[in-house]
Amino acid sequence: MSEVIDDNELKRRLIKFFARAQLAKNNNSTKGIITKDIANKNTKYKEMNIKVSFGQGSVTRIPWMTFLQIPFTTSEGVYPYIGADIDNNKIISHIGYSEDKDVIIPDKARKTISNINEYEKHIIDFKNIDENIIDELLEYISSTIISFKEIDFKIKDDLFSFNDENNEDKDMPNNIKQIQPLNQILYGPPGTGKTYNTINKAIEIIENRIVSGDEDREDLKEKFEDYKENGQIEFVTFHQSYGYEEFVEGIKAKTNEENKQIEYEIEPGVFKRLCEKAQEVVYKNDSIEFDSNSKIWKVSLAGSGDNKIKSECYKDGYIRFSYEEKFNENINDKSDLNIPLNALVNKMDIGDIIVSLDTHKTINQIGIIESEYLYLEKYENYKHSRKVKWLLPEAKVIDFYEINGNTSFANSSIHEINPNKEKFFNLIPEQNIEIKDDNKSKNYILIIDEINRGNISKVFGELITLIEDSKRAGNDEAVEITLPYSGDKFSVPKNLYIIGTMNTADRSIAPIDTALRRRFVFEEMAPNPNLVSKNIEGVNLQELLTAINTRIEYLYDRDHTIGHAYLLDVKTLDDLKFAFKNKILPLLEEYFYEDWANIDMVLNSNDFIKTKEDNSKYLSNINNKYNGKKIYEIKDESNWKIKNFIKIYDDEVNLED
pLDDT at 175: 35
Is residue 428 a part of any domain in this protein? yes
Q: Is the pLDDT of residue 107 over 70?
A: no
Residue-level length of the chain: 657
Higher pLDDT, 7 or 261: 7
Q: Is the pLDDT of residue 176 over 50?
A: no
Sorted by sequence, the CB contacts under 8 Å of residue 161 that are 6+ apart come out as 153, 154, 155, 167, 172
Residue type at 604?
N
pLDDT tens, residue by residue, 522-553: 888 999 999 999 999 999 999 999 999 999 99
pLDDT tens, residue by residue, 394-407: 899 999 999 988 88
pLDDT at 388: 93
Q: Is the pLDDT of residue 170 over 60?
A: no
Q: What is the mean pLDDT of residues 629-639?
A: 83
Is residue 130 a part of any domain in this protein? yes
Per-residue pLDDT band at 334 (split at 50, 70, 90): low
Pairing verdict, β 262-268 and 43-45? unpaired
Is residue 657 a part of any domain in this protein? no
User: Same domain, yes or no, for 476 and 489?
Assistant: yes
Q: Is the pLDDT of residue 237 over 90?
A: yes
Nearest residue to 417 (alpha-carbon basis) of 299, 298, 300: 298
User: Same domain, yes or no, for 63 and 186?
Assistant: no
* Residue that terminates a domain, selected from 121, 156, 191: 156
Q: What is the mean pLDDT of residues 101-113?
A: 58
Q: Is the pLDDT of residue 355 over 90?
A: yes
pLDDT tens, residue by residue, 642-653: 999 999 999 998
Where b means 16+ CB within 10 Å and e means fewer, 229-258 reads eeebbbbbebeeebbbbbbbbbeeeeeeee
* Residue that terminates a domain, selected from 492, 526, 560: 526
pLDDT at 198: 93
**284 forms bridges with which residues in the sheet?**
289, 434
Nearest residue to 354 (alpha-carbon basis) of 400, 308, 322, 323: 400
High-pLDDT (> 70) share of the chain, %: 85
User: Same domain, yes or no, for 432 and 449?
Assistant: no
List phi, psi (to 5°) of 195: -65, -40
High-pLDDT (> 90) share of the chain, %: 33
Is residue 84 a part of any domain in this protein? yes
pLDDT tens, residue by residue, 306-327: 999 999 999 999 999 887 555 6
Q: Is the pLDDT of residue 620 over 90?
A: no
Residue 453 CA to its chain's centroid (Å)? 23
Counting the structural domains of the chain, the total is 4
Angle of helix 131-149 relative to helix 107-114, nearest 10 degrees, comes to: 160
Q: Is the pLDDT of residue 177 over 70?
A: no
User: Same domain, yes or no, for 517 and 562?
Assistant: no
Is residue 259 a part of any domain in this protein? no
User: Same domain, yes or no, for 415 and 447?
Assistant: no
User: DSSP string of 68-135?
Assistant: E-TT-BTTBSEEEEEEEEGGGTEEEEEEEE-SSS-----HHHHHHHHTSPPEEEE-S-STT--HHHHH
User: Same domain, yes or no, for 349 and 490?
Assistant: no
pLDDT at 154: 45
Average pLDDT, the chain: 83
Contact 420, 206 (CB under 8 A): no
Contact 239, 453 (CB under 8 A): yes
pLDDT at 164: 39
* Residue that terminates a domain, selected from 417, 438, 459: 438
Q: What is the C-alpha to C-alpha distance for residues 25 and 61, in angstroms, rounded to an integer?
A: 9
Nearest residue to 474 (alpha-carbon basis) of 440, 497, 499: 440
User: Same domain, yes or no, for 342 and 455?
Assistant: no
Q: What is the mean pLDDT of residues 12-32?
A: 85
Neighbours of 75 (CB within 10 A): 11
User: Same domain, yes or no, for 8 and 81?
Assistant: yes
Is residue 165 a part of any domain in this protein? no
CATH number at residue 519: 3.40.50.300
**159 forms bridges with which residues in the sheet?**
156
User: DSSP string of 270-300?
Assistant: HHHHHHHHHT-EEEEETTEEEETTS-EEEE-
User: Same domain, yes or no, for 469 and 417?
Assistant: no
User: DSSP string of 578-609?
Assistant: HHIIIIIHHHHHHHTTT-HHHHHHHTTS-SSE
CATH number at residue 303: 3.10.590.10
Is residue 207 a part of any domain in this protein? yes
User: Same domain, yes or no, for 7 and 138?
Assistant: yes
Q: What is the C-alpha to C-alpha distance for residues 638 and 577, in angstroms, rounded to an integer?
A: 9
User: Same domain, yes or no, for 247 and 354?
Assistant: no
Q: What is the C-alpha to C-alpha distance for residues 461 and 2, in angstroms, rounded to an integer?
A: 29
CATH number at residue 134: 3.30.920.90
pLDDT at 292: 78
Q: What is the mean pLDDT of residues 481-505?
A: 90
Is residue 166 a part of any domain in this protein? no
Per-residue pLDDT band at 162 (split at 50, 70, 90): very low
Domain extent for 586: 529-647
User: Same domain, yes or no, for 582 and 538?
Assistant: yes
